[in-house]
Amino acid sequence: MSRPDAPAAPPACAAVLLAAGAGRRMGHLPKSLLRRDGETLLARQVRLLAAAGAAHIAVVLGHHADSLLPELQRLDAGATRLSWAVNPEPDAGPGSSLRCGLALLPDAATVLVALADQPLLELGDMQAVLHAWQQRGAGTELLVPTHGGQPGHPIAFGPQLRAAVMAMADGQGVREWRRAHPQQVQHLPAAHARYCTDVDTPQNLERLQRECGVTLACPPGFSLSLWERAG
């Protein structure tokens, strides 16, 4: 048994949730505040990551930080620690935002990285990524779910890739590392498109409703006309 004053053991799993984008193709709408069944996509992703076993979730804000912060402050992540940071340069690329999130996390055997505007992911999808990572082949440093050859999220990696990403220059991130080290990447092929489905345009919302029967409601205080102009 650990002494009461002993430092806590590093968590087995921690997560970064990226929510720094401007939503330009959606009329500058904060996409992660879109609601599915009354729950924001931001809250939904936090809930799923926590249920999957992430002991600490770091949310990275950017262009819509003022709109997203009240939602984060309302969230109850249960036993999971929830923290956030604002990327001062959200247009510097996903690697920049990822470094902001990783800087908030303690050491962890596994890091999951998810997007805040993925409306179809289920708990089983998160668990499948974690299981595949735990069963990864020798020399694997990155686990990427795919559908039809397209990479998706959440991705999983460990301390070695985390250190490499933290040492990269602005504008570089996991994508550049993956292209340079294909032999260290393991893919998780999926028969469904949930890992690869996010919402970038009004057309994405229409397709989501038409093909999946999922309707995303506009956040309070934002006009549907923004979507129309964005198209």
Least confidently predicted of 35-44, 111-120, 163-172: 163-172
Q: What pLDDT, on the 0 to 100 scale, is given for residue 9?
A: 60
Q: What pLDDT, on the 0 to 100 scale, is given for residue 38?
A: 94
Q: What pLDDT, on the 0 to 100 scale, is given for residue 27?
A: 83
Distance (Å, whole) CA 63 – CA 23: 9
C-alpha 216 chain-centroid distance? 18
- Tell me the pLDDT tens digit for each residue of 172-219: 999 999 999 999 999 999 999 999 999 999 899 999 999 999 999 988
Does pLDDT of 2 surpass 90? Answer: no
Q: Could you give all domains of the chain from N- to C-terminal order, each with its CATH number?
A: 13-230 (3.90.550.10)
Angle at 56 between CA 51 and CA 57, to 5 degrees: 80
Please give the mean pLDDT across all residues of the chain: 91
- Tell me the pLDDT tens digit for each residue of 122-158: 999 999 999 999 999 999 999 999 999 999 999 999 9
Does pLDDT of 228 surpass 50? Answer: no
Does pLDDT of 75 surpass 50? Answer: yes
Q: What pLDDT, on the 0 to 100 scale, is given for residue 44?
A: 97
Percentage of the chain modeled with pLDDT above 70: 91
Q: What pLDDT, on the 0 to 100 scale, is given for residue 226?
A: 47
Q: What pLDDT, on the 0 to 100 scale, is given for residue 8?
A: 56
Instruction: Please give the average per-residue pLDDT across 28-32, as a whole number.
Output: 91
Using CA atoms, how far residue 139 sits from 55, 127, 155, 157, 188, in Å, is 25, 21, 16, 12, 16
Does pLDDT of 5 surpass 90? Answer: no
Distance (Å, whole) CA 125 – CA 10: 24
Q: What pLDDT, on the 0 to 100 scale, is given for residue 3?
A: 39
If pLDDT is split at 50, 70 and 90, which confidence band does 222 have? confident
Q: What pLDDT, on the 0 to 100 scale, is given for residue 173?
A: 95
